[in-house]
Structure 1
């Protein structure tokens, strides 16, 4: 047990040492993945916006997350929430036509929907009477100067975004219920990228470029002012923010999600598991398997003899016992003294037996006569059985056979 404990401590120390070496030597590169996840603190995550949104909209604003966009679930979720705003900040808004129909019905009843995405499905654009495209330079080899392409809101707030090389824009805005509230400038033209679409009792706020709301830009003052001004167009005090990660069926749902999502913690977890595997492997080889205790077979000769005797006694046939007693005695004579018992009835047998055993000739002659008399008798009394038994036992005692 002491060796196993020492091995475990050594493996733990080695694991901690390997973790420290990996942590010190690893190149901590910045993760520029555009996750748009409310929990991510990477540059293009939404942690800052998700945390500060109540302050941006006012301290009385309440923000809650929702995840399911299943048709039946979204219908039930939106029911009775016409005084709230549903907020989407996602890479692509790819909901199905049933969900889109429920969102449109929600707006018609008085709800508000704010969507910021890089692309929208045809069903939504067609329902809202919109067309969109991406702005590309006529010469694809041309180098763009982001300082010549500001993004602006209708209230005059401006900001520049160096990562938006080919921004999206809307066109063909002829409907009176559609209002341009944001745009970017290029070649002295205003390209709409933020719209308000009123429908009956509610409205849609449709925004292109969700990158503007990520941590990287929200921590820069001009960009923060632009994004905050865009978010302040939300007019409701209850906001339901769509959580894309929970809706993703491939998202990690294990309680170890925090460990698995962090590169350093994930490596430490795997090393720890590997160390435990080595520990169990070495321990299984070092410790001897328990040997089962096998009890020896008990000696039941006495019980067996008692059982046989009881059967003979209950059978009530002493003659059979006399026969067995004589046969066993003759077997002992043949075994101990090598006497040929086939000559039992010959005249010289008693003399030969006396010479072999050292018992008086008269005793030997009397015993031989008794044996010859009862050897072939099938029926006898208890008294006769006792007589035969006594004579044989006395002879064995005199011949030292006991």
Structure 2
């Protein structure tokens, strides 16, 4: 290994080590992905709420449900409050029917999402827009018992509210309040409602961000979450249970199926790259293989033989003829070479033997070359005359060359 290669490898190692160092010491970027998964501690995860659920519902059991509602609610022994929390929740027809039956027999369904379609409950949602130059949105409970306190979420979000509801079966529990730069209320819309259905209820909320880690730890916003969930707490059938005996314990059924950030392993490589330790192990392994190829390949590489390119024999032949002509003026020798080259030309181009130069040969050559038989005979008579002479003049050589070139030129026409 030469000195120059060692310098390059050393620089490569320093660059790789520098990249590792920078990656290890630089501040980790905040992940604002709307996960809503209970295992995630990122701002839009729900790790804090999930951990606090047992304290918010001390008389209830918190169960994680990993199946879709249609499969899980097939067993009618599953009762309590089905808790849905995600960016978007869209049930298919069978799932919605199961949830409706679940509520009809005295259970509750809580859904906090930025988008949902529940035409069966006769509700519609819309997005609130205002003309205020600077606006702030607040969440507020409607019941005066909560003191009318407003809670502010300091990040942008879609201001979804309930534009149409079934007034006979719906109760407004919370509102979205929008204020302008002068702190004056410019809009107030319902964003938390209760819809009666059978013996149970649907609790619908259009601001799922309120239940995320970021909002729970922002100022006193956890109070708002506790106020919202207090409606569920008051509805627990702690003594008789929904559809159960006197000793049954109601449950909070925490949905983990409808979660944007739920665990998905689409491929082994996806799993490796999604885990920090495995990802760096994979990269280090690739770098190790690269070094192995560089050093091992250079050590064991077989020598590549040097192939000398073929010499240009045509150029050598031309130089030989030129020397003979200009230096020695050996016209006879030049003519002999010219004749031999011409006979070789006939053998290759027209596939004719030149051993016997007779009438049959003249006829075949005339037919294949396109020249007249008379022209062919005249040319070969001239060749024969030159071959019989011991020496020839320059004029004889020029005449021979012209006759041969005329013969070839006719073929090219």
Query: What is the TM-score normalised by the length of structure 1?
Result: 0.57
Q: Structure 1, residues 370-389: CA drift from partner, whole Å, max 9, x if none? A: xxxxxxxxxxxxxxxxxxxx
Query: 1:15 and 1:270 mapped to 2: Cα distance?
Result: 18
How far apart are residue 242 of structure 1 and its match?
Answer: 1.2
Residue in 2 that maps onto 1:145: 136
Structure 1 unpaired stretches of 5+: 1-9, 289-402
With over 3 angstroms needed to count, the CA separation of the structure-2 counterparts of 1:165 and 1:35, relative to structure 1, is closer
With over 3 angstroms needed to count, the CA separation of the structure-2 counterparts of 1:48 and 1:260, relative to structure 1, is farther
Q: Structure 1, residues 33-73: CA drift from partner, whole Å, max 9, x if none? A: 22212111111111111111111222x432121222274x2
Structure 2 unpaired stretches of 5+: 1-9, 179-184, 237-249, 301-413
Residue in 2 that maps onto 1:39: 39
Alignment match of 2:151 (pick from 159, 164, 169): 159
Is the Cα contact below 8 Å between 2:69 and 2:98 reproduced in 1? no
With over 3 angstroms needed to count, the CA separation of the structure-2 counterparts of 1:192 and 1:120, relative to structure 1, is same
- Aligned residue pairs total 266
How far apart are residue 213 of structure 1 and its match?
Answer: 0.6
What is the RMSD of the two structures over their aligned residues, measured on CA atoms?
Answer: 3.4
With over 3 angstroms needed to count, the CA separation of the structure-2 counterparts of 1:90 and 1:189, relative to structure 1, is same
How far apart are residue 220 of structure 1 and its match?
Answer: 2.3
Query: 1:246 and 1:274 mapped to 2: Cα distance?
Result: 34
With over 3 angstroms needed to count, the CA separation of the structure-2 counterparts of 1:18 and 1:43, relative to structure 1, is same
Alignment match of 1:136 (pick from 129, 151, 169): 129
Q: Give the alignment of 1:210-249 within 5 angstroms.
A: 210-235=208-233, 236=236, 237-244=250-257
Answer with 1 or 2: which has the greater Rg. 1
How far apart are residue 272 of structure 1 and its match?
Answer: 2.8
Q: Give the alignment of 1:55-74 within 5 angstroms.
A: 55-58=55-58, 60-69=59-68, 71=70, 73-74=71-72
Residue in 2 that maps onto 1:252: 265
Is the Cα contact below 8 Å between 2:46 and 2:211 reproduced in 1? yes
Is the Cα contact below 8 Å between 2:141 and 2:174 reproduced in 1? yes
In the alignment, does 2:260 pair up with 1:261? no
With over 3 angstroms needed to count, the CA separation of the structure-2 counterparts of 1:246 and 1:207, relative to structure 1, is closer
With over 3 angstroms needed to count, the CA separation of the structure-2 counterparts of 1:229 and 1:261, relative to structure 1, is farther
Query: 2:192 and 2:69 mapped to 1: Cα distance?
Result: 27
How far apart are residue 212 of structure 1 and its match?
Answer: 0.5
How far apart are residue 229 of structure 1 and its match?
Answer: 1.6
Query: 2:151 and 2:285 mapped to 1: Cα distance?
Result: 49
